[in-house]
Amino acid sequence: MTTNTLIRTEEKCLYCGGQGYYQLLLGGSETCGCCEGTGKKPKK
């Protein structure tokens, strides 16, 4: 049996980079629809 440690990339939402929102060019921010503001990768 091998001990294999899975190297997981940080479970950050790639859309917003783990912020939960993204900055708009015009100013302000918008909640990321991908992770719904959690900043984490949505699991499927």
Residue 43, SS3? coil
Output 2 or 8, the one with its CB closest to Zn ion.
Answer: 8
CA atoms of 11 and 43, how far apart (whole Å): 10
In the complex, the smallest distance separating the C-beta of residue 29 from Zn ion, rounded to whole angstroms, is 12
Per-residue interface string for the shown chain with Zn ion, residues 11-40, x marking contact by CB under 5 A = --x-xx---------------x-xx-----
In the complex, the smallest distance separating the C-beta of residue 19 from Zn ion, rounded to whole angstroms, is 7
Q: How far is CA 28 from CA 16, 21, 38, in A?
A: 14, 10, 18
